[in-house]
Amino acid sequence: MSEIVDDIKFIDEEGKRIDGRRVDEMRPLKIEAGVLKRADGSAYLEWGDNKVMAAVYGPRECHPRHMQNPSRAIIQCRYNMMSFSVSDRKRPGPDRRSIEISKIISEALENVVFTENFPRTSIDVYIEVLQANAGTRVAGLTAASVALADAGIPMRDLVPAVAVGKADGHIILDLNGKEDNFGSADLPIAMIPRTGEVLLMQMDGHMTMEELDLALSYAKKACQEIYDIQRDALHRRYASQAGTEDDNDDDDDLPDEEA
């Protein structure tokens, strides 16, 4: 987090934020599953001004071989921000931040995937941030979870994630770019709504215990909303796929046209 900027007022007298949202309101979220034909599973996500693509390949033979685990699959994640994803052109290639985010996303996903079903293999997850405006790690994790399900990889459940922060002394849900850059705290959280199990929680900044409790309550409610959107994306994906298969079956039943 950057230092607080005194001349930016994040919450007005009516309790509205600089983008018009309430303190406990998320930005608009849209998810589409199965958007890449050549990937085993994929998802495209738009969350506010964030645009993220996730692709999954595998389980497949693990390379290099010395990384193989004889009892389970490993999840290798590559999180990458495209050089044009931010206003100040980013240097291409992995940096310290992207390597760290790749690692924490891998660890979160390993807690829900039945990796023991696929020993000595690798499940490769690629996350490309096409446009960034705060919260890209939780957006990437949310999209990757849908892509894994789209690939048919057995999982305990989907993983929704969201960031909660603090600005002007208020706890706020789903920070935008200015709130992320100039607020006083940022708390990315991933959890399984069905069980309440927390898979990821990082703190950048400071909150009191009371503020943390409020942040967690915001996150829990938001993760349920995100979870419902994830499930809806997968339902739409397989409903359309089933419809296509039915159309093909109907075509097979049609008599050949006479010459």
Please, which pLDDT band fits residue 75 given cuts at 50, 70 and 90?
A: very high
Rounded CA separation 118/42 (Å): 20
Buried b (16+ CB within 10 A) or exposed e, 14-47: eeebeeebebeebbebebbbbbbeebbbbbbbbb
pLDDT level of residue 259 (50, 70, 90 thresholds): very low
pLDDT digits (tens, 9 = 90+) for 99-157: 999 999 999 999 999 999 999 999 999 999 999 999 999 999 999 999 999 999 999 99
- The mean per-residue pLDDT over the stretch 204-212 comes to 96
Taking only the tens place, the pLDDT of each residue in 26-71 is 999 999 999 999 999 999 999 999 999 999 999 999 988 899 999 9
Residue 78, phi then psi, degrees to nearest 5: -125, 105
User: Identity (one letter) of the amino acid at 2?
Assistant: S
N- to C-terminal Cα separation, the chain: 73
Q: Is residue 206 scored above 80 in pLDDT? A: yes
CATH topology of domain 29-240: Ribosomal Protein S5; domain 2 (3.30.230)
pTM equals: 0.89
